[in-house]
């Protein structure tokens, strides 16, 4: 039997009860029902991008941050977190995360234009 989607379950909790409650629910599910749910990195990543599309940037930032905590060795989580920070206007910290993603995995070529765009913007502001 396939595992249930954590992004669907956690997404509903974000919507109904808030992101902080959703994060606690995620942790409880992971502890109590890890065999029943899909806890792949892609679950939180997808939810984070959905939240960005719904203009729930603060919620997305917290979900991507959780994904970083859960999968700190993955370049992808730093790229996603960088996107959420950039959507929130935090160019300095988004740049840090994009650079980290690229340093961890140089095949993340799509981060390079983001890095260059932010650096160019920062240079033009000086």
Residue range 46-78, pLDDT digits in tens: 999 999 999 999 999 999 999 999 999 999 999
Return the pLDDT at 122. Answer: 82
Does the pLDDT value for residue 121 go beyond 90? no
In the block, residue with structure tokens 């859960």: 70
Over range 99-103, report the average pLDDT.
96
Q: What is the pTM of this model?
A: 0.92
Return the pLDDT at 70. Answer: 97
Return the pLDDT at 123. Answer: 84
Whether the CB-CB separation of 66 and 23 falls below 8 Å is answered with yes
Over range 81-92, report the average pLDDT.
96
Which overall architecture, per CATH, does domain 4-125 show?
Alpha Horseshoe (1.25)
Does the pLDDT value for residue 41 go beyond 90? yes
Query: What are the residue ranges spanned by the domains of the chain?
Result: 4-125
Share of the chain above pLDDT 70, in %: 99
Does the pLDDT value for residue 126 go beyond 70? no
- Report the sign of the C-alpha dihedral through residues 54, 83, 117, 123, in that order: positive
């Amino acid at each position: 039997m396939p595992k249930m989607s954590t992004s669907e379950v956690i997404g509903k909790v974000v919507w109904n009860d808030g992101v902080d409650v959703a994060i606690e629910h995620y942790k409880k599910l992971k502890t109590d029902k890890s065999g029943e749910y899909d806890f792949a990195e892609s679950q939180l990543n997808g939810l984070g991008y959905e939240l960005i599309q719904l203009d729930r940037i603060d919620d997305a930032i917290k979900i991507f941050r959780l994904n970083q905590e859960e999968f700190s060795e993955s370049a992808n989580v730093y790229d996603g977190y960088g996107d959420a920070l950039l959507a929130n206007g935090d160019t300095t910290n988004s740049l840090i995360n994009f650079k980290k993603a690229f340093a961890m995995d140089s095949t993340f070529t799509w981060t390079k234009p983001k890095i260059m765009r932010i650096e160019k913007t920062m240079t033009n502001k000086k």
